[in-house]
């Protein structure tokens, strides 16, 4: 009989987060559950984040890896998971922190629910100094027989933990995602097993001016989440039925595909840019061309932008 404790991999994908990183790491090290490892993948930071990493270089629980160039959050989060060795994983954004018992609660929940792929909690919404403002009300249990992409709310959010074996049975987080990579993660894990909500705030979510999913970036993040939903349709055995369940029309999904394709082409990532467009065109040539030419007309100011 194996009596070794379940190892939890705390995953941090970091880019220019030196200001908050130590607080995040300390919240993991001070957990009531101690069978942990911390996997940090630095996405080519240029803010002297190495000064923080050097503080922990003698702690064997912490492993730091560096991307050779800036790849973005999708690539970096996938790399975190593939470098991990724990049975259970969970992402902590480098500007946030955990409740002191968060990992213990999650490990016990996974042990008691071996068939569940993803177990998540609600979280505190905090200000720039991590002072609590409120408990998030948009997170909750996804109804039985549904998936999180079927409705706007409730949704899956922090603190989201998952069995690594389930993740490795998927194609993984799409590496071109610069935002909304967590949504792609959740959607793919839902393909591998049921999900469970723990109605406790176990995570402190910091709102500040540089948050990649807030403020000016929220609209772009929404486009990336729609591409994630489009990919759900492509993976489905019954694409028509799946599309009907998504609370976004086909036009909005195709428009998002075109939008992200243009971003990839501007980044000179031609393979992904053309591949995304090609998939959108193959799925619905008529809608793709309608949306494409409508956007061209908008750009040329022939018709008003709404």
Q: pLDDT grade, residue 152 (50/70/90)? A: confident
Residue with tokens 């030196």: 18
- CATH architecture observed for domain 8-206: Alpha-Beta Complex (3.90)
pLDDT reported for residue 303: 46
Lowest-pLDDT range, 18-32, 199-213, 251-265? 199-213
Name the DSSP letter for residue 154.
Answer: S
**Residue 4's pLDDT band (boundaries 50, 70, 90)?**
confident
**How far is residue 104's CA from residue 36's CA, in Å, rounded to a whole number?**
10
Spatial separation of the C-alpha atoms in residues 12 and 73, rounded to whole Å: 10
Distance CA 220, CA 223 (A): 5
Residue 302 reports pLDDT greater than 90: no
- Domain residues of the chain, as ranges? 8-206, 217-299
Res 214: pLDDT: 53
Given this model, what pLDDT does residue 304 score? 46
Q: Which residues pair with 132 in a beta bridge?
A: 126
Mean pLDDT value of segment 74-88: 98
User: Has residue 153 got a pLDDT over 60?
Assistant: yes
CA pair distance 124, 211, nearest whole angstrom: 16
Q: How many CB atoms lie within 10 A of CB 132?
A: 12
Instruction: Give the pLDDT of residue 210.
Output: 61
* Average pLDDT, integer, range 53-76: 97
- pLDDT for 216 equals 59
Report percent pLDDT > 90 for the chain.
Answer: 88
Comparing 138 with 216, the larger pLDDT belongs to 138
pLDDT digit string, tens, across residues 10-60: 999 999 999 999 999 999 999 999 999 999 999 999 999 999 999 999 999
- Residue linked to tokens 């959607």: 187
In this model, does residue 276 exceed pLDDT 80? yes
Q: What is the rounded average pLDDT for all residues in the chain?
A: 93
pLDDT at 217 exceeding the cut of 60:
yes
């Amino acid at each position: 009989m194996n009596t070794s404790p379940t190892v939890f991999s705390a995953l941090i994908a970091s880019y220019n987060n030196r200001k908050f990183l130590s607080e995040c790491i300390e919240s993991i090290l001070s957990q009531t559950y101690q069978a942990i490892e911390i996997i940090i993948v630095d996405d080519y930071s240029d803010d002297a984040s190495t000064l923080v990493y050097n503080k922990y270089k003698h702690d064997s629980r912490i492993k730091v890896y560096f991307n050779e160039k800036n790849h973005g959050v999708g690539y970096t989060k996938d790399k975190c998971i593939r470098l991990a060795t724990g049975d259970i994983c969970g992402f902590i954004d480098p500007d946030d922190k955990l409740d002191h018992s968060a990992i213990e609660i999650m490990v016990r929940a996974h042990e008691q629910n071996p068939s569940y792929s993803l177990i998540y909690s609600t979280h505190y919404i905090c200000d720039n100094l991590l002072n609590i403002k409120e408990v998030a009300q948009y997170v909750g249990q996804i109804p039985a027989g549904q998936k999180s992409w079927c409705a706007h709310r409730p949704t899956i959010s922090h603190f989201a933990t998952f069995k690594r074996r389930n993740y490795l049975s998927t194609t993984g987080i799409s590496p071109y995602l610069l935002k909304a990579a967590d949504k792609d993660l959740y959607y793919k894990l839902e393909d591998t097993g049921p999900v469970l909500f723990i109605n406790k705030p176990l995570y402190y979510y910091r709102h500040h001016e540089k948050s990649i999913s807030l403020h000016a970036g929220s609209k772009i993040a929404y486009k990336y989440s729609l591409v994630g939903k489009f990919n759900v349709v492509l993976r489905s055995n019954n694409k028509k039925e799946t599309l009907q369940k998504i609370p976004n029309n086909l036009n909005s999904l195709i428009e998002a595909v075109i939008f992200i394709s243009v971003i990839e082409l501007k980044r000179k990532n031609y393979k992904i840019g053309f591949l995304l467009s090609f998939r959108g065109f193959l799925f619905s040539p008529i809608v793709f061309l309608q949306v494409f030419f409508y956007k061209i007309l908008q750009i040329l100011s022939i018709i008003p932008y709404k």
